[in-house]
Amino acid sequence: MIRVGIAGYGNLGRGVESALRDAEDMETVGVFTRRNPASVKTATGIPVYAWSDAENMRGKIDVMILCGGSANDLPTQTAELAAYFNVVDSFDTHAKIPEHFEQVDAVSRAHGKISVISVGWDPGLFSLNRLYGQAILPNGKDYTFWGKGVSQGHSDAIRRIPGVKDGKQYTIPVEEALERVRSGENPELSTREKHTRECFVVAEDGADKAAIETAIKAMPNYFADYDTTVHFISQEELDRDHAGIPHGGVVFRTGTTGLSGEQKHVVEYKIQLDSNPGFTSSILVAFARAAYRMQNDGLTGCKTIFDIAPAYLHPSSPEDQRKSLL
Amino acid sequence: MIRVGIAGYGNLGRGVESALRDAEDMETVGVFTRRNPASVKTATGIPVYAWSDAENMRGKIDVMILCGGSANDLPTQTAELAAYFNVVDSFDTHAKIPEHFEQVDAVSRAHGKISVISVGWDPGLFSLNRLYGQAILPNGKDYTFWGKGVSQGHSDAIRRIPGVKDGKQYTIPVEEALERVRSGENPELSTREKHTRECFVVAEDGADKAAIETAIKAMPNYFADYDTTVHFISQEELDRDHAGIPHGGVVFRTGTTGLSGEQKHVVEYKIQLDSNPGFTSSILVAFARAAYRMQNDGLTGCKTIFDIAPAYLHPSSPEDQRKSLL
Reported ipTM: 0.96
User: What residue ranges in chain B does DSSP mark as E strands?
Assistant: 2-7, 26-33, 48-50, 63-66, 86-88, 114-116, 140-146, 149-150, 164-173, 195-203, 227-232, 247-257, 263-273, 301-303
CA distance, residue B263 to nearest chain A CA (Å): 5
Q: Which backbone phi and psi does B270 adopt, to 5 degrees? A: -130, 135
The answer to whether residues A269 and A250 touch, using CB atoms and an 8 Å cutoff, is: yes
CB spacing of A257 vs B281 below 8 angstroms:
yes
User: Which among B19, B138, B314 is the nearest to A23, CB-wise?
Assistant: B138
Confidence band of A151 (pLDDT split at 50, 70, 90): very high
- Classified as helix, coil or strand, B170 is strand
The answer to whether residues A173 and A249 touch, using CB atoms and an 8 Å cutoff, is: yes
Mean pLDDT for chain A overall: 97
User: Which among B94, B278, B322 is the nearest to A263, CB-wise?
Assistant: B278
CB spacing of B307 vs A308 below 8 angstroms:
no
Largest distance between two CA atoms of chain B: 68
Summarize pLDDT for B281-293 with one digit per residue, the tens: 999 999 999 999 9
Q: How far apart are CA A104 and CA A93, in angstroms?
A: 15
For residue A267, which residues of chain B lie inside 8 Å, CB to CB? 269-271
User: Which among A136, A268, A278 is the nearest to B282, CB-wise?
Assistant: A136
CB spacing of A263 vs B275 below 8 angstroms:
yes
CB spacing of A326 vs B97 below 8 angstroms:
yes
**Sheet architecture: strand order including B140-146:** A140-146, A247-257, A263-273, B263-273, B247-257, B140-146
- Classified as helix, coil or strand, B252 is strand
CB spacing of A321 vs B131 below 8 angstroms:
yes
Q: What is the pLDDT of residue B115?
A: 98
pTM exceeds cut of 0.90: yes
Closest by CA position to A10, among listed A29, A32, A25, A26: A32
Task: Search chain A and give the residue with CA nearest B269.
Answer: A269
User: Which among A101, A127, A326 is the nearest to B94, CB-wise?
Assistant: A326
> Over its length of 326 residues, how does chain B's per-residue pLDDT go in tens digits?
999 999 999 999 999 999 999 999 999 999 999 999 999 999 999 999 999 999 999 999 999 999 999 999 999 999 999 999 999 999 999 999 999 999 999 999 999 999 999 999 999 999 999 999 999 999 999 999 999 999 989 999 999 999 999 999 999 999 999 999 999 999 999 999 999 999 999 999 999 999 999 999 999 999 999 999 999 999 999 999 999 999 999 999 999 999 999 999 999 999 999 999 999 999 999 999 999 999 999 999 999 999 999 999 999 999 999 999 99
Mean pLDDT of the A90-118 span: 97
3-state secondary structure string across chain A? CEEEEEECCCHHHHHHHHHHHCCCCEEEEEEEECCCHHHCCCCCCCCEEEHHHHHHHCCCCCEEEECCCCCCCHHHHHHHHHCCCEEECCCCCHHHHHHHHHHHHHHHHHCCCEEECCCCECCEHHHHHHHHHHHHCCCEEEEEEECCEECHHHHHHHHCCCCEEEEEEEEEECHHHHHHHHCCCCCCCCHHHHEEEEEEEEECCCCCHHHHHHHHHHCCCCCCCCEEEEEECCHHHHHHHCCCCCEEEEEEEEEEECCCCCEEEEEEEEEEECCHHHHHHHHHHHHHHHHHHHHHCCCCEEECHHHCCHHHHCCCCHHHHHHHCC
Q: What is the pLDDT of residue A163?
A: 97
Q: What is the pLDDT of residue A85?
A: 98
Summarize pLDDT for A216-243 with one digit per residue, the tens: 999 999 999 999 999 999 999 999 999 9
Q: What is the pLDDT of residue B22?
A: 95
Alpha-carbon separation of residue B79 from B23, B34, B76, B100, B305 (angstroms): 26, 16, 6, 9, 18
CB spacing of B257 vs A18 below 8 angstroms:
yes
Summarize pLDDT for B5-57 with one digit per residue, the tens: 999 999 999 999 999 999 999 999 999 999 999 999 999 999 999 999 999 99
